[in-house]
A and B are shown apart, each in its own frame.
Chain A
Amino acid sequence: MNYSCSKYELKCNECGKRFGNQPLSACPDCLAPLEVAYDLEAVRGIFTRENIAAGPANIWRYAALLPIPDGFQPDLPVGFTPLVKAKNLGKRIGATNLYIKNDAVCFPTLSFKDRVVSIALANAQRFGFDIVGCSSTGNLANSVAAQSARLGLKACILVPADLEPAKVLNTLVYGARLVRIDGNYDHVNRLCSQIAEEYNWGFVNVNLRPYYAEGSKTVGYEIAEQLGWRLPDNVVVPMAGGSLIRKIRKAFQQLIYLGLVEDKPVRFFGAQATGCSPISVAVKEGTDYIEPQRPNTIARSLAIGNPADGPAAAKMILSTGGWAEDVSDVEIVSGMQELAETEGIFTETAGGVTTAVTARLYAHGRISPDELTVTCITGNGLKTTDALTGRYPEERAVRPRLADFDAYLRELDGEAEPELAAAGGKHGN
């Protein structure tokens, strides 16, 4: 299989100038973020339902619309995570047509960041970088560390000093160099932009950012394909830097343009934590002006107070007739528990944000119960177990005797298990 994409290059969203392909993230003239633009006509007849179905069960089935160099041979089976109908959660929050896109089980490091990193590192190799790096709130760090180890690249990863211990461990174990910065993500990100100027390193979310961000489109392609090549009515997406939500829309628009799905209006809903909600605040005020915030939330993977793609995300949400909401730390933990208890999906704090926001959107009538809605879970709960500390106190150990077990259940529930009694068990009432 030929994995290379046909034609693409960097383009400035503001002034329209084109820059070919190079490690560059901002337009040198107007300083706006650069975006990968495709020659969609060149892939008409190539990017088809049939060709995609014949591809591997991972993101590389969409390679024809990903910015990867000629002759690229994918290494890891990233993505193609389950899209599951959320009947139980739906019942609880008043939704009859709700689906969950579950990137809590994305390969290899259990977050949607695996998608963007695989595209970024393909380009890092193409541009000849031996050292790669990133500024990260954790998930990105894990993914860069794991995938660069696999590709034989050296990784230097910068994180805020207060990162969750699991995310630190999940970076160090791959042999990456981890530098904890005494500051928040916005401080880390600023430092990385300076490092990228002075060192010849490939920073996946700085100088490789336009390529990196395109990996997020695969979430959109997968949703459409897994729904039987149709678009949902609504999508609920967590927002940190504001990139993912825009790229899902870009994916949908490309599918519409190429005739893989029928054109229809899709509303986009953004989810943030109240303790870091610059994009949500802007949407609620009906503006695309982002007032930066100092983050203070347990949803650290969403704690970007000055989101680079915030203005574009706010503008896009408003243009689709969508909305944005933000929820408190208490609601975030409840959201994590609710998703686990109803659907068996253990998500990290960011997924708690998305679940709680989804519930609120139904409660406030912003989404009608029968509309086809997809909510995007982007990370795994095993990485943020500290958020649940104290929620499940350790119970006493029970002697390995049936009578003790029976007594223990009575102690907990106040009566014997009904099925035990119905089966005629001696220990039933």
Chain B
Amino acid sequence: MPSTLGTPCCANCNAAISSGDWNREHAFCTTCRAPLSALVFPAFIAEPVRAPGGEALGEAGEASCFYHPQKRASVPCDQCGRFLCSLCRVEFLGENWCPGCIDTRRQKGKLSHLDAHRTLYDNMTLTLAILPAFLIWPTIITAPVTLFLTARYWRAPSSQLPRTRIRFILAASIAILQIAAWIWLLLFLIYRRR
């Protein structure tokens, strides 16, 4: 059953919780009878803020919005300086940004506040260093690849959560050991033949 937006619902059966049970320590769902507690906050009753539509240009010579030439500019973008109408202005991190700047920075991965996905390259390299070692032979290829990936993604943004680079260091160490072992084996075979 889809949940009902705008009403606190039981987390078990999705039935709406009656208002008499909000912010009570002990309550029961009227449908599934499971004990529940619903914490409701002031945002629930706050009126939604309506975005202004932007004022039309009044007189000739007035600055117009970069994205909407027929609308009056109200602020410049704090990043690129473009004039923005009140519709295009985005309050972000305490500044006025234009949608273009947000989009560009986000695509470049410079706005970690908006990232919804991160690839964990350190885990990838560590797996690439360890798993093939069980089969021994694949490490001829995977060890250099591990080193390359470690160097390539050393500075790439990793998890948003607290995380060190220990996995990269471990992966690189294991890969170097594997390469050293292969070199030693190669030299051993060459000198043994002579």
Partners in one complex: no
